[in-house]
Structure 1
Amino acid sequence: MAAPACGTGSGKSHCAPVPKAEADRNLSAYSPGLTELAIEVVSPGGVQRDYNDKVEFHASAGVPIYMIFDPYEGVCATMWTPESGTYRDRRIDDYGSTITAPAPLSDVKIETAQLPVDSADHP
């Protein structure tokens, strides 16, 4: 069972589900390899970083599921099955639907109907 664990890196706070036994250790940082799901929200100037650099980082670290919420395109890109620095499986869902993470985290559901879309300010 996963539990949230939070730490800091690059001056920013990060939270991710990690195995409960690790979260119970209450560390200030966790190995990316323990992360079961990584979620990013694209920020101005972050498109290249989130869609390319972080895909390679998370896949290489063995993070099973990576989700990118993009308020400029109004979509969520979900990637799973890390392999050779990328993800073998990908899905794009438009905002407005309930997005379900792939197994084994299919109990994670994110409602996107109320998420902001800012296409006028695309980075």
Structure 2
Amino acid sequence: MTTLRYQAMRDAVQSLDDTVPGKFEITREGVVHDMRAPSSPHELTAARVSRRLEKLMPDGLLAHTGAPDVEDESQGILRLPDIMLIAEADMEGQGSFDPRTLIAAVEIVSRSNPDNDWVGKMRDYPLLGVPVYAVFDPRTGTGAVLSDIHQTPAGPRYATRKDFVYGEDVTIAEWTVSTEGLPLYA
């Protein structure tokens, strides 16, 4: 993707952010628009996982939910993880976070666009240098933690995948949390 094309998409996303519902992200294929506001099970899962992680993490590290996004203009990618494991010091300053400063990205699968989390972000996060990617899927009560970025002919990909079922403990980066009591979509 050219810098000009990426900047045009970035400008369009910024102009739509406050006027069109949902959230926008940019991939090499173009703009991804999740039109629905996150549901209660989505937000509750993010809150519970974030709190469980923060209880275990040392001072100075956060399991941050919210803005801003992570962006690598040279790759033509802008993503907004549901939870970012990141050092407070790496959150200082203006603009997007540097994705290479993330310890891990955690996504709660959207009911309206599951391929964004299971396909698109699984492709984009290793390109951005995010070392660990955890996916929680309230549709099925399952998930996966991906790690160990390696090079493939199609570009960087995760080499290790550990699947889990809600109710089991799951390790994200250095911290193991319970998935007990995480809600499912009705």
User: Which TM-score applies when normalising by structure 1?
Assistant: 0.76
2:121 alignment partner, SS class? helix
- Alpha-carbon distance in 2 for matches of 1:13, 1:67: 10
Alignment of 1:1-123 (within 5 A): 3-4=61-62, 7-9=67-69, 15-23=83-91, 25-83=92-150, 84-101=155-172, 105-106=173-174, 108-118=175-185
More helix by share: 2
Could you tell me which runs of 5 or more consecutive residues in structure 1 were left unpaired when the two chains were aligned: none
Same amino acid, percent of matched pairs:
22
Cα RMSD (Å):
2.4
**Structure 2, unpaired ranges of 5+:** 1-57, 70-77
Bigger Rg, which one: 2
Q: Supply the distance in 2 between the matched residues of 1:51 and 1:72 (Cα, whole angstroms).
A: 12
Q: How many residues align?
A: 113
SS of the aligned residue for 2:139 comes to coil
Shift of 1:18: 2.4
